[in-house]
Structure 1
Amino acid sequence: MLQLSTRKPTRFSEADLHIFQKLRSLNWGLVLTLCLISASGVALLYSAGGMAWEPWAGRHLIRLCCGMMLMIVLAMIDVQHWFRLAYPAYFACLLLLVAVEVIGQIGMGAQRWIDLGVFTLQPSELMKIALVLALARYFHQIPLDRLRAPLALIPPLLMTAAPVVLVLLQPNLGTAALLAFGSGAVMFAAGVPVWIFWTAAGGVLVAAPVGWQFLHDYQKDRVLTFLDPGSDPLGAGYNILQSTIAIGSGGVSGKGFGMGSQSQLMFLPEKHTDFIFVVLAEEMGLMGAIGLLLLFGIVLIYGYLIGIGSKSQFGRVTALGLTTTFFLYLLMNIAMVSGLIPVVGIPLPLVSYGGTAIFTFLIGCGLLLSISVHRESRVSPHEPLL
């Protein structure tokens, strides 16, 4: 005898439907592009590790998967919450930078990390995101006509100077430069007059000779080596000479996957971190390098379009500031390994082996996706400071 089922059809709650709606509106084109870049990084680390998952590719893949899941979770959070968390995140990162000076772990002649047991944290990476958020909140609450008053720029300049000085003390000149240029991008996106940037540029040029005296010896060597790499081919100039040899030997089509002589025969130092792009150029040639740069270009285009499409000043400035920071990140790494600027120790996002740098970049992408999903969200400028 047949019995009719009395089970009621499953119904989704309003919260579940809201999440599904957000997932549908997610910028999946940006997510797919990030996955393709990440896959390229895993493949290059697999090759750099001697065609093996250990010691780099396997761990890199796990970190990327965890970071991608975190990115999707962050994308579901409304922009208004990021507005409220902007200042607390900034001050938390500032305290972590102070902690680096007190209990930081020393490695490769620098004190940049905090050993948390389970993993090692580099607070300067997190500050790249926190500084953009804090500055975007400040400029969201300042009327546009007040930006022409020099006094209105004192708070953001102090907010920028504090982490820059702390990062310089580590010492980490490359990240300090990224923080300074990134904050400049936020100020430009917020509508700060152009003449202020020209004035700042002139001040930097005037102060450059004085700043030279405060550089560490290895930093001066990097600058001098950049001007004449052949002056110390087996010392300070070794990295960049091997890098340019590897890039040039790759030609148009490359030597083949896993067939790079400079990387496989251990001539190329730091091939899994800062110089991973060189492995790509040697093995996949000019075409492979252009392909990866095109993928990064798509990410930047998505980022700028997300910023332009945001209805709130906070979302617009945050998206434009983060995207420009990503562009500077990419530019400095490619220029560094190509010999166009001195070596400054900047990894290639999602491709270089690392922990904090990967999560920082994907957190930033999560914020971009959040701004995209909640592009219609209006952020009130009359929020409490904390």
Structure 2
Amino acid sequence: MRKNASRIAAAAGLAVLLAACAGDPATPGTASGAAATPVATTGSASAPVTGTPAAERSPSASPAPGGTGTPDLGAGREVATGIRTPWGLAFLPGGDALVAERDSGRILRVPAGGGQPREVYRVPGVTPGGEGGLLGLAVSPGYDEDRYVYAYLTAASDNRIVRFRLDDATPETVFEGIAKAGIHNGGRIAFGPDGMLYAGTGDAGVRGASQDPDSPNGKILRLTPEGEPAPGNPRAGSAVYSLGHRNVQGLAWDARGRLFALEFGQNALDEVNLIEPGRNYGWPEVEGKGDTAGGRFTDPLVTWPTGEASPSGAAIAGDTLYVAALRGERLWTVPLRDGRAGEPRAELSGRYGRLRTVAVAPDGALWLTTSNTDGRGDVRDGDDRILRYPASPGTG
């Protein structure tokens, strides 16, 4: 079993001295330029930089998780309140949700139809601090048989992925050695339509890690459910699926199995990227769209000024990508067509404050969590809360 990540690029203790994430005021650095409004880029991506042809390396395109309808953003209602810094959100087969509290290490169960959250697990070994703690959650695609829940967490020495059953107090570590810091811990995990476990990591404030193919930081990782490098990865024996990322916290697949990821920018531009195996997304050489160095780097599909987004959660329902924005305090909707992005549209602007996670439930409803108790938001009565938007009639 894969228990140790590849070589860590540098000591995480240096990270707190470097650039803060896009959730905070901008920090010094060099960017490729800023835009005043969201920009959808429709040009084709550059070629992969390593390995065999993409068609041979891509995961199988089985139906994507989540619903196919259009959520009714005018029909939202609260399904839970009073949660402290919710981060991960994943659904059990029957529709109930599991919600991770970042700082307490608790996992709460929220009924599919709403109701009082109930603690069902407390993950041992969580060491919260800054942006670290109990982060992403994922439910095994074979949950009915194996009963596994997966979590990405910050431990005393690193970030790692564990799995456990809700009736077993001792988690099993399946992947460890992802450098931690007060910032840029990444943390989103999700099972893809190919049955593999994907993880978005951050650079932990050490920029060079993102371009180091032997470091798990600043990457999207692709693993077997047991934590081994997945078959068909760009480099045999390596968990790295894509590189050149600053801080990935959003992963979502469309109905054709294409992976889209959200990227926190630094001073200028947040990103939506279409992820293909082996491609390099440029950080720290490029922020947003810029010089691809003759095809070495891949440009994003969409960019936003960091003050309008700071995107954390991603979900796809039908032909729309939903992006939960922290600093932007809004839900962005991005139309998708054949792997290309249309003009983004802002919804719910300022209504609920910081938005952390968005996910599609088994019944096609869109669930959305706030993040106002994380130390960076203005706490409102009832925070933090979870909202549910049902699929429009006839579309779910």
Which TM-score band applies after superposition, normalised by the shorter structure? under 0.3
Structure 1 or 2: more strand by fraction: 2
Task: State TM-score, norm by structure 2.
Answer: 0.25
- Which one scores higher on RCO, CA 8 angstroms, separation ≥ 6? 1
